Amino acid sequence: MRAPLGIDLFCGLGGWTEGLLAEGYDVVGFDIERHDYGDGKRYPARLVLQDALTIHGGQFKAATLIVASPPCQEYSYMAMPWSRAKAKATEYRSGTRDVKQLTALFDACFRIQREAIAAAGRFIPLVVENVRGACPWVGRSRWNYGSFHLWGDVPALMPITGRRGMKGSGGSWFGDYEEMKDHIKQGGDWFNASQPSISRMCSSKSKARKAASASIAKIPFPLARHIARAWM
């Protein structure tokens, strides 16, 4: 039997892909750059370098499942209690900035799904991950696993994480970091409490900072595997 096909958009280091591979999927990842930082930190499946805005979902008509993690830095930044962050959010709300540009990559995921379904003549599920800060701009998430929020075709039964250290849990954003570090996503290493030296010592284009950001953005393996199993 042919293995189910998984499509991983904005695949990064392959957090989604690792879960899909563990469940027997054949996976193809799409990203605008190759994430390979040595020491085993690289995308673990076939990779296509392509901008998601240029992808037509018709090419995914054989897919069993599409997963995606659009960049979250802008959403995370505007959720911070800083005057500049609040000012940027106000500009979007007032129309000074175009919200469609803010949500373009997020919206592209659902366009790609619609095109894939039309080409296949059958339903193809899509699960999109981002941060809580995206909710005011793209709508309320359907579930969250720690601070990894999910939209789209989220299965009815989902794994639960503890509440300590979660965003919006009523306590510290970072809480007991050692307990929750695998379930905390902060939109890049700007907000990573465990690696303050990365932001201060490395430029935004440095390999070290890119590696740290990509690692923080990885989908937790238990979540990725659960979604993969649910849509087999």
Q: What is the pLDDT of residues 22-64, one digit of tens each?
A: 999 999 999 999 988 877 789 999 999 999 999 999 999 999 9
| Mean pLDDT rounded to a whole number for the chain | 84
Q: Is the pLDDT of residue 108 over 50?
A: yes
> What's the rounded mean pLDDT across residues 75-89?
96
Query: In this predicted structure, what is the pLDDT of residue 216?
Result: 84
Backbone CA torsion sign across 96, 101, 103, 107: positive
pLDDT at 180: 40
Share of the chain above pLDDT 90, in %: 70
Note the pLDDT of residue 184.
53
Q: What percent of the chain clears pLDDT 70, i.e. is strictly above it?
A: 81
pLDDT of residue 197 exceeding 60: no
Give the model's pLDDT for residue 175.
33
State mean pLDDT over 212-219. 84
Residue 183 has pLDDT above 70, yes or no: no
Q: Which residue has the higher pLDDT, 99 or 36?
A: 99
Mean pLDDT of 102-124: 98
Q: What is the pLDDT of residue 196?
A: 40
pTM of the model: 0.83
Report pLDDT for 37: 82
